Amino acid sequence: MGEPLRVGLIGAGKISGAYLATFENLASLRLTAVTDLDPHRARAVAERTGASPAPTVAALVSRDDVDAVLNLTIPAAHAEVALAALGAGKHVYGEKPLTAHREETETLLAAARAAELRVGCAPDTVLGTGTQTARKAVDDGLIGTPVAATAFMTTAGHEAWHPDPEFYYQTGGGPLFDMGPYYLSALVHLLGPVVRVVGASSRPRPRRTVGSGPRAGHTFPVEVDTHVTGVLEHAGGALSTLVMSFDVRAARLPRIEVHGTDASLSLPDPNGFDGAVELNRGDGWHTLPVSAGYRDAGRGVGLADLAEALAAGRPHRASAELAAHVLDIMLTLTDAADQGRSLTVTSTCERPSPVPHFGP
């Protein structure tokens, strides 16, 4: 390993804490600069890490001691900030979604290609031992030929615990766009890209009520569908059933299961990095030993993988192409639900390379 990738952080909100905690254990990354709309937050991160505060996005991306930008801004600003970084000659890694619209995604990918720069995107949870151990089991043929998968994320809604939950129920929000990237990224790692979708969705409650904090009792309108279900056809022929809901009070559904001609797999929550992977050949569920994935991983391991990929001259795994395909799946599923018919997913991506087994 050569010199660490020097990282400039844009957006020092709540999620940045998880990234900074991971950075402390990653020799391939070094935080050198930080900026935020709230200068107090930027200064707090600078004091904690030794990075230099920058007054604006433009000032940060122009710094000579920044090789890559970590874009943790709100989703509506993802494309603008990423394009500014690419224009200044910096690699970019951002939180999901990659952008808010297909057109922005196409512009971003074209700019990265033209500048010969890397763009990565969360979620990187799929690079942990949970999804990667399951993927190795699929690749090693432990379940036979993959036939189907199920993916369920059900909750009664985030307004029960979040003091300002409105953005979850506005355009670009909802259960599919909030949590879908974790599940869909895992399904693409396991079964490959999606070629066709059919779906349905509903909005049972036109208004929601804040359940905690100083605004408890305040009601607000719901602008997006809050229960989304779909069937995804993967390029290899497997069919995945997806349910993403903010309308389920209680459930005993698994997070993700993959079913093959010889056996079935049960996976942990793809919003986490690890957890037990279980195999059932018809003789009961048996936990598989950890066999692949970054161990003890946290938010930001995708950026570390990008840094190591740059040094090794290989593709990085949490890629913009994967994130763009996942966004296209979600948008196409939304269109299919609105139109009441199946639709072709026009984008595709390479299945990311597996993460080898690291550590004991």
* Domains contained in the chain, CATH given: 5-121 (3.40.50.720), 128-292+319-344 (3.30.360.10)
Predicted local confidence at residue 360, as pLDDT:
46
Q: Is the pLDDT of residue 359 over 60?
A: no
| pLDDT higher than threshold 60 for residue 148 | yes
Residues in the chain: 360
Task: Say which of 14, 90, 96, 136 is annotated catalytic.
Answer: 96
Residue 1 has pLDDT above 80, yes or no: no
> Which are the contacts of 252, defined by CB distance < 8 A and separation ≥ 6?
none
| Res 108: pLDDT | 97
Catalytic residue flag (residue 96)? yes
155 token code pair: 């909750």
What 3-state class would DSSP assign to 287? strand
Above 90 in pLDDT, residue 7?
A: yes
Average pLDDT of the chain to the nearest whole number: 95
CA distance 144 to 127: 23
In the predicted model, is pLDDT for residue 100 greater than 90?
no
pLDDT in tens, 179-199: 999 999 999 999 999 999 999
List the one residue out of 299, 298, 322, 345 whose CA is nearest residue 118.
Answer: 322
319-350 per-position pLDDT tens digit: 999 999 999 999 999 999 999 999 999 999 99
109 CB neighbour count, 10 Å cutoff:
17
Calpha distance 101→279 (Å, rounded):
38
3-state secondary structure of 1: coil
pLDDT band at 358 (very low <50, low <70, confident <90, very high): low
User: Is residue 85 a contact partner of residue 69, using CB atoms and an 8 Å limit?
Assistant: yes
Q: At what angle do helices 174-191 and 129-139 cross, to 10 degrees?
A: 40
pLDDT in tens, 28-84: 999 999 999 999 999 999 999 999 999 999 999 999 999 999 999 988 899 999 999
Q: Is 284 left (phi over 0), alpha (psi -120 to 50) or beta?
A: left
Residue 255 pLDDT: 96
For residues 169 and 245, give the distance between their C-alpha atoms in angstroms, rounded to a whole number: 12
Place of tokens 């259960």: 175
**Per-residue pLDDT tens digits for 237-246:** 999 999 999 9
What percent of the chain stands above pLDDT 70? 99
What mean pLDDT is predicted for residues 115-133? Answer: 98
Q: What are phi and psi of 2, to 5 degrees?
A: -90, -145
The token duo for 39 is 């200068």
DSSP assignment string, 105-143: HHHHHHHHHHHT--EEES--GGGBHHHHHHHHHHHTTTT
